[in-house]
Amino acid sequence: MVLKVFFPTCCSSAESGILIGRWISEQNSAVILAVVHFPFIPGQVKQYLSQVQQVTKIKVSVLGSWSNSKQEKEESLSKFLEDLGTIFVHEPWIQISKERDSKFWSCSTLQKESNSSKEEEIILIYYDQRKVMLSQLHPPVDTTTDHKADDASKLAAMFDTVANSKILFMTDRYDDGPIKLTHWQSDGVEASIIVELLKQASSNCMIKERVLVTLEFVNKVQEMLKFWPLSFLWSKLSTCEQLGHRLQHLQIISSRKKAQNQTQLMRKANIFVSLLVDVALGILLMSWLYRKNRIGQLADTLIPVADHVAKELQDLLQWLMGAPAGLKMNRALDQVLGRFFLYHIHLWISYIHLMSPFIEMILWYVGLSTCLGLTVALCILSDIIALLTFHIYCFYVYGARLYCLKVYGLSSLWRLFRGKKWNVLRQRVDSCTYDLDQLFIGTLLFTILLFLLPTTALYYLVFTLLRLLVVVVQGLIHLLVDLIDSLPLYSIILRLCRSYRLAAGVKFRVLEQMHGKPLRLLMQINPLSYGSVVRTYSLPTYSCYPKDSWTSLCKKLFLGELIYPWKHKGEKQD
């Protein structure tokens, strides 16, 4: 069986000593973690390894010896390193030596039973210890074949061994302890000044008290919003939904509960970066709005735009009250519906002009809310569009209700002609016997509804198209909001700057291959693709729009059922 030895590249120039690491018997492989070089006391080494094993829960032991002939002049050192195998009992005892004037290394195993070196097929695999420790190995997407899943489990064992041995890497060569180690942090423990500053800031009692007071205030606000009518407004306005979503994010990143695994830690980091970028974009938008009196320009533009929309609607209704596209409409019903909708437009124009003196002040205060984030500003824009097009929504509701009433009336009268009726209790169509008067009245009603249906259907079609146009605009805004909320910015930046942190697998490159010498490979990390990063770490978003299928949507439009821009409780989705 082939023996695989994972050797860290940082130990290639280490002084002679002993190799410590983990032996994985199921895979017949050894993962070298560090080199302990001279002088050392074997009892202290064993005690140190037992302490490391208690903390990491990984069986770390002495696996063999390491000889660097470039730095050692005594030939008896190799014999001494072989004799260490009698003190540190391990089967097999791995001997790796770096020859003086050659680029090839020699690697052999010593069997304790025969007490002789045994030359067997050995593969020496170099790996970057820092990258392997910091990276997170993701399971393969395609696990249909058994060998891919088996290879992934083998790699996971190796990655977990290095990642869980962090305490071993906290001892460098400058420590005053009796053991001198060589590993990726042997020249000094790597630290980040940003992390240290954050630790100092988190230890400040005043900051902790401010955070606790803010969280208590947030909890009180959420308790108040559970009562009617605040709960109704909170569930219908997209701005309130987005604020609630961001409040949940604040609770997650401010929680004292420690992340249990790497996935939860990445989720917290993604939420924090998403919130930070959102607020930064919102502040930039606010600075742009309050510069050069853009709020006043927007307020001066809003009233003429509303008047223009109302004028176009009046022209559309005047066209419908005539002979639209040469169609012969019911004159009386056409005039009634046209005047009814024209009166609503008149009321709407009066309301807009009544509010015109206060619009600039309202927009000024609304602009301040953009400091809460760009997504909040987009949700406010969606709500403003909904308020400015409320008359279109009313027209759509009136037309849909009237059309739906006639469609269901015609379907009921059609069942009457066939001698059937709808059984409400059993929810099915049953046979029924009708007398002559019922058939006569049903025929009259059916005729009236059938001849009035084209006029009603035309109004319903026009206002439904207008309503769908508004819903599409609001849907595009909410798609942008969902994109900002769900985009894992931290993971994408990590993939861009430190791609090895998100590992999808590994690849091996042949360094040297010579007969009689171990095959030397270099293990390199394959990063996740950007699409896999987005799919794996995308954040959950709230969805205020119902996810109807196209079949269900067309059925609702044909039957005249209302299409709400929010999801109702208990509503069944196809």
So what's the pLDDT on residue 83?
Answer: 65
Query: How is residue 367 written in tokens?
Result: 């602009």
CA-closest candidate to residue 34, choices 189, 174, 165, 158: 165
Question: Minimal CA–CA distance to 395: which of 344, 333, 450?
Answer: 344
pLDDT at res. 72: 47
pLDDT higher than 50, residue 573? no
Work out the angle between the directed axes of helices 550-559 and 390-417 (0-180°, nearest 10): 80
| Mean per-residue pLDDT, 346-365 | 86
Q: Which residues, 6+ apart, have CB-to-CB distance to 423 below 8 Å? A: 429, 430
Question: How high is the pLDDT of residue 417?
Answer: 80
3 state DSSP class of 290: coil
Tokens of 476: 């595009």
Count of C-beta atoms within a 10 Å radius of residue 126: 21
With b meaning 16 or more CB within 10 Å and e meaning fewer, what string describes 87-107? ebebebbbbbbbeeeeeebbb
Cα–Cα distance measured from residue 37 to residue 17, given in angstroms and rounded to the nearest whole number:
4
Task: Please report, for residues 378, 474, 477, 545, 563, the alpha-carbon distance to residue 566 in angstroms, rounded to integers and kept in the order given.
Answer: 17, 11, 14, 5, 9
Q: Please say if the pLDDT value at position 197 is more than 70.
A: no
Name the strand (E) or helix (H) holding 81. helix 76-83
Beta bridge partners of 65: 18, 95
The 10s digit of each residue's pLDDT in 12-23 is 888 888 888 999
CB-based contact 171:181 (threshold 8 Å): yes
Rounded to whole angstroms, the Cα distance separating 241 from 220 reads: 17
Domain boundaries, the chain: 2-187, 204-287
pLDDT tens string 415-452: 888 778 887 788 788 888 888 888 888 889 988 988 99
Task: Please tell me the distance from the alpha carbon of residue 50 to that of residue 157, in angstroms, as a whole number.
Answer: 20
